Structure 1
Amino acid sequence: MKHHPLLWLLGFRVSRNPISVYILNLAASDLLYLCCLLVFYLWKLIDYFVFNYYNYIHAVGMWFYSMGLFMLSAISVERCLAVLFPIWYRCRRPRHMSAVMCALLWALSLLLTMLLHFSCSSFFSKDELCLIMHSVIAPCLIFVFVILCGSSLTLLVRMLCSSRRLQLTRLYVTLGLTVLVFLLCGLPVGIMHVLEAIDAPGIPFSTFILLESAAFLLSSINSSANPIIYFFVGSFRQKHQQWQQRRSLKLVLQKALEDVAEGEKSGESPPQESVELSGSP
């Protein structure tokens, strides 16, 4: 898994800023989600899978999946705040807001997952309570998805249609590609979860299982794609000599999170400064 060096670089090597904190948590949720999928399919291969294990792994997997959605939405909202309220963002934004938001989102996602799991487990066996929890959690995921799309569209409009257009930076390219891959590969799992919540009327069970398997496959691609996106964006237009440096992965990651337009650079900035957001704590 390519998330190991990414977590190491984000956690210990790259200078911290509001975006890198969210990216670190997004990478952690992606890695843990891939681990859940790996355990799920290994159990199926050895034919040792029972329904209770499926419930547990499904619940944990949905926890990490929802965290990925929450993190993407938080990153988009963070950039919208920086664009729409630049003075407040630079001067009045709480210093540790990113870390606090990540902690709250982890706790909220865990709480929703636990409520859903225990209300639908065979221990309680209350179909009405399970249906109620699905009817509560599914709209929550839809609401977060709407926030993600709305904030992303706001940034896109400011780049293309506004009289004060945003200059395209590597950070916006990274965010745009990450959101696009999620919409193409990560969203189907959420759709299947909503269909499961409403009992998927009109869909045969065998067809539903096939669609669910395809959705899980796509979600694994989504969780594996982010390091590739950072590598692609960060290495674009880089000199060949940098590939030979031991610190090249760190430089590539810093470039991918760079919030400075190419035309604004008077020269190569020092590696430790290239990831810093202007005016951010």
Structure 2
Amino acid sequence: MLRLLCKISASYSVIMDELDSIYDYGDVLEEIVSHTKNKSHVDLHPQHCREAACVITVIFNVIIFLLGITGNGAVIWITGFKMKKSVNTTWYLSLALSDFIFCATLPFTIDYIVKKSWIFGLFMCKFTAFVMTLNMYSSIFILVIISVDRCITVKFPVWAQNQRTVQKASLVVVLAWFVSSLLSIPHAKFRDITNATTVKCYNNYEGHHKTVVFIRLTFGFLIPFLTIFICYSILICTLRANQMSKFTKPYKIMTLLIAAFFICWLPFQIVSVLEVDRHEQEHDHVFHTALQVSALLACANSFLNPFLYAIMAKDSTKKCYSFLSKIESTIDEET
């Protein structure tokens, strides 16, 4: 009888060993560690996303990813392959490409939020930060370029008709992307990962935090905002003086795009300035929440533009029954 019990026990041990190799016992191990008398604060496994705020953040990022890839992909297809090449389609194609590239990197961020551990290495840690900053700079620079282009077109129509070409517009876009890339390099340079059990992808500014924030605020917000404000002031005065109210709808669309950008990025810029003195607010949960919300709002800007095009489509309820046709209708009206 004793031998039989021993055999059953041995068989049971073999079965449990097999189960151990199949199932993830991370949660069980954490439970055991928390009840032991060992006072070490090192976690054997990272805590997965369970808090309500974390789950909501993940859901919103997934929505941004899906809508951003779909919407911007549609704009890229329409402006890049379906419509005739023009100066305006060049602007909108560049905007869509910027947002599409950023949205394509969101799965890495979503995985990091869920697992609370960065598993993609140092290069991808730097690359994702670079892409987000590149998206910010390239988007606002293109909006500035469009504003200046609109201003010149209205103020000097004859000159604009002779000088505005697709080749020159493409060259301007390439220059904008080049400058955006240069300004995004510091954000990749100071990105680093920890070598602890739970790997973190974080900003290691090495004493250059204020400089990085100042450059981003100046070139990514203040100067573009001032330039766009001046251009729109000139536009409004010119349109009113020439009684060109029937041509103002394209400018309403641009106003929506610019307003959406500044509404989405302004909180992030403000929180970034406050983050310079973060050593005084390390345990401030309100500040931490503001940081998460502002970053999420900034990311949301990457999927908004295609839907703004669809909303502003001419006679969209009567003539355009699909999302793609609405986007094409709006961009065609711009042209």
Q: Is TM > 0.5 for Structure 1 vs Structure 2?
A: yes
Matched, 1:189 2:268: yes
Extract unaligned runs of 5+ from structure 1.
260-274, 277-281
Matched, 1:32 2:101: yes
Q: CA shift at 1:72, angstroms?
A: 1.4
Query: Which residue of 231, 241, 261 maps to 1:163?
Result: 241
Matched, 1:152 2:232: yes
Asked if the contact 1:169–1:258 (Cα under 8 Å) also holds between the matched residues in 2, the reply is no
Asked if the contact 2:155–2:238 (Cα under 8 Å) also holds between the matched residues in 1, the reply is no
Secondary structure of the corresponding residue to residue 118 of structure 2? coil
Alignment of 1:200-219 (within 5 A): 205-219=284-298
1:87 is matched by which residue type in structure 2? V
Q: CA shift at 1:214, angstroms?
A: 0.8
Secondary structure of the corresponding residue to residue 257 of structure 1? helix
Extract unaligned runs of 5+ from structure 2.
1-69, 195-203
| Alpha-carbon distance in structure 2 between the residues aligned to 1:59 and 1:95 | 28
Asked if the contact 1:37–1:61 (Cα under 8 Å) also holds between the matched residues in 2, the reply is no
Return closer, same or farther for 1:94/1:28 CA change in 2, 3 Å cut-off.
Answer: closer
Matched, 1:89 2:160: yes
Q: CA shift at 1:232, angstroms?
A: 1.4
Return closer, same or farther for 1:95/1:178 CA change in 2, 3 Å cut-off.
Answer: closer
Return closer, same or farther for 1:257/1:170 CA change in 2, 3 Å cut-off.
Answer: farther
Matched, 1:115 2:115: no
| Alpha-carbon distance in structure 2 between the residues aligned to 1:2 and 1:188 | 24
For these two proteins, the number of residue pairs brought into alignment is 253
| Alpha-carbon distance in structure 1 between the residues aligned to 2:272 and 2:75 | 29
Return closer, same or farther for 1:199/1:59 CA change in 2, 3 Å cut-off.
Answer: farther
| Alpha-carbon distance in structure 1 between the residues aligned to 2:311 and 2:166 | 30
Query: Which residue of 220, 227, 243 maps to 2:306?
Result: 227
Which residue pairs with 2:277 in the alignment? 199
Once the two structures are superposed, residues 125-165 of structure 1 have per-residue CA deviations (whole angstroms, 9 ceiling, x without a partner) of: 77345543443343222212322333234334444xx3213
Which residue pairs with 1:270 in the alignment? none
Which residue pairs with 2:87 in the alignment? 18
What is the aligned-residue identity percentage? Answer: 20
| Alpha-carbon distance in structure 1 between the residues aligned to 2:138 and 2:297 | 17
Which residue pairs with 1:272 in the alignment? none
Return closer, same or farther for 1:120/1:229 CA change in 2, 3 Å cut-off.
Answer: closer
Once the two structures are superposed, residues 48-81 of structure 1 have per-residue CA deviations (whole angstroms, 9 ceiling, x without a partner) of: 2279565542232111122111111111111111
Relative CO higher for 1 or 2, CA cutoff 8 Å, sep ≥ 6? Answer: 1
Matched, 1:253 2:327: yes
Asked if the contact 1:116–1:130 (Cα under 8 Å) also holds between the matched residues in 2, the reply is no
| Alpha-carbon distance in structure 1 between the residues aligned to 2:311 and 2:302 | 16
Which residue pairs with 1:104 in the alignment? 175
Once the two structures are superposed, residues 203-229 of structure 1 have per-residue CA deviations (whole angstroms, 9 ceiling, x without a partner) of: 565333211211122223322111111
